[in-house]
């Protein structure tokens, strides 16, 4: 069996034991809360990991882009929700082909967007399941909760559209909040989407699913009465930001980056062969603080160029040229998207590869 010492650097490692625990743990949490778990597969973009989630009891997968759904459908996944406002006739034609093969639903947040999809489905004598995106405070996409019912009615009457539910993301759990605040806002966001669902039901529409996402807020949100589904993604691998947000501990982090020190030009500065092409340049959440932490110490990657990670060496630590280190990255999803394959490890030995089959699927 190959050892870590034989791997070329940089390599992205995934510890299968930790991964398995994370998948089982979130599934158990969802079961005990009585909600469906539909993990966001953007974190891994890998059919192998998605199959582990389905095998553990996930009801289906969440993805964002049409091309991602095409990859996962080609790998045998049968129930996909695209939690993203898909727009345009060209995308609609691809969704129509997908809907022939799998159970598919997509997000919408505008009449124009929904119509661009519905027209294509209607012309084919079909209806597309859509869920209305609610903005629970992130100020990105989604309608304000106050207009959810009116917007749902307008979308539901479009030809080729079947209204199926409401969902929210609540990504503001990632910014500028303490772990306690994140826990509190999770329940707040749950309340917002449940109230929006009630308003839509009061307007006469059937709302099958009331769905809500994101690893930081999901524990607090999934226990809000009326929530039927949750869509966390990052929990499979976890990362430095999840630890800072209090939604994971260091031992829950399955993904690390194996790197080599290639330069040590000053006592307080060393440089590894993993930069933004390996770690991404995504900032740490909730507060920016470099691009990764060296596992087993206090030093961190303070800045990145494409192929350089500049370590600010913590007091009492030192690095020598040729030394190998493992780095906990800020954002696991962004790291997955940079690599065609990750290295699966268990107990310090290499077990195989994880293919990131849907890497780079942006269309």
To a second copy, the closest distance from the beta carbon of 34 in angstroms equals: 29
Q: SS3 of 64, please?
A: coil
CB of 21 to a second copy, least distance (A): 25
Query: Minimal distance in Å, beta carbon 43 to a second copy?
Result: 10
DSSP letter for each residue of 289-335? --SEEETTSS-EEEEE-SS-EEEEPPTT----TT-EEEEEES-HHHH
Min dist. Cβ of residue 340 to a second copy (A): 6
In the block, residue with structure tokens 């009465």: 225
Closest C-alpha to 302, from 313, 315, 293, 311: 311
Q: How far is the CB of 65 from a second copy (least distance, A)?
A: 6
| CA–CA gap between residue 132 and residue 127 (Å, rounded) | 15
> What is the C-alpha separation between 50 and 202, in angstroms, rounded?
36
Using the minimum distance from each CB to a second copy, give the nearer residue, 315 or 320: 320
The 3-state DSSP class for residue 123 equals helix
Cβ closer to a second copy: 228 or 280?
280
> CA–CA separation, 343 vs 6, rounded Å?
12
Q: Are 91 and 66 in contact (CB under 8 A)?
A: yes
For residues 258 and 324, give the distance between their C-alpha atoms in angstroms, rounded to a whole number: 7
Question: What's the min distance (Å) between Cβ of 264 and a second copy?
Answer: 7
Of 1 and 320, the one with the shorter C-beta distance to a second copy is 320
Q: Strand 103-108 and strand 79-85: pairing?
A: parallel
- Residues near a second copy (CB under 8 A): 6, 8-11, 42, 64-65, 84-88, 90-91, 109-110, 112-113, 116, 135, 139-144, 171, 260-266, 269, 271, 273-274, 276-278, 280-283, 305-308, 310, 320-322, 333-334, 337-340, 360, 362-363
């Amino acid at each position: 069996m190959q050892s870590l010492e034989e791997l070329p650097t940089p390599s992205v490692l995934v510890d299968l034991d930790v991964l398995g625990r994370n998948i089982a743990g979130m599934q158990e949490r969802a079961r005990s809360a009585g909600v469906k778990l539909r993990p966001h597969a953007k974190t891994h973009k890998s059919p192998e990991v998605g199959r582990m989630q389905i095998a553990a009891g996930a009801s289906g997968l969440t993805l964002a882009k049409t091309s991602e759904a095409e990859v996962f459908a080609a790998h045998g996944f049968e129930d996909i929700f695209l939690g993203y406002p898909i727009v345009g006739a060209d995308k609609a034609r691809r969704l129509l082909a997908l809907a022939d093969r799998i159970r598919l639903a997509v997000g919408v947040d505008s009449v124009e967007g929904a119509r661009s999809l519905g027209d294509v489905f209607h012309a084919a004598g079909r209806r597309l399941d859509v869920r209305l995106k609610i903005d629970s405070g992130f100020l990105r996409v989604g309608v304000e909760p106050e207009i959810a019912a009116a917007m749902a009615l307008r979308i539901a009457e479009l030809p080729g559209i079947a209204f199926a539910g409401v969902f929210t993301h609540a990504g503001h759990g990632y910014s500028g909040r303490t772990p306690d605040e994140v826990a509190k806002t999770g329940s707040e966001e749950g309340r917002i989407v449940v109230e929006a669902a009630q308003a839509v039901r009061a307007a006469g529409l059937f709302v099958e699913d009331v769905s809500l996402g994101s690893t930081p807020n999901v524990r607090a949100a999934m226990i809000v009465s009326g929530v039927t589904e949750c869509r966390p993604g990052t929990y499979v691998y976890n990362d430095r930001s999840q630890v800072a947000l209090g939604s994971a501990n260091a031992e829950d982090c399955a993904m690390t980056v194996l790197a080599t020190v290639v330069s040590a030009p000053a006592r307080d500065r060393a440089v590894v062969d993993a930069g933004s092409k390996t770690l991404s340049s995504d900032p740490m959440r909730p507060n920016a603080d470099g691009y990764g932490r060296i596992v087993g110490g206090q030093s961190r990657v303070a800045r990145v160029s494409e192929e350089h990670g500049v370590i600010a060496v913590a007091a009492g630590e030192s690095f020598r040229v040729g030394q190998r280190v493992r780095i906990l990255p800020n954002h696991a999803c962004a790291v997955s998207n940079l690599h065609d394959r990750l290295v699966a490890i268990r107990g310090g030995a290499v077990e195989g590869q994880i293919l990131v089959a849907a890497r780079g699927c942006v269309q």
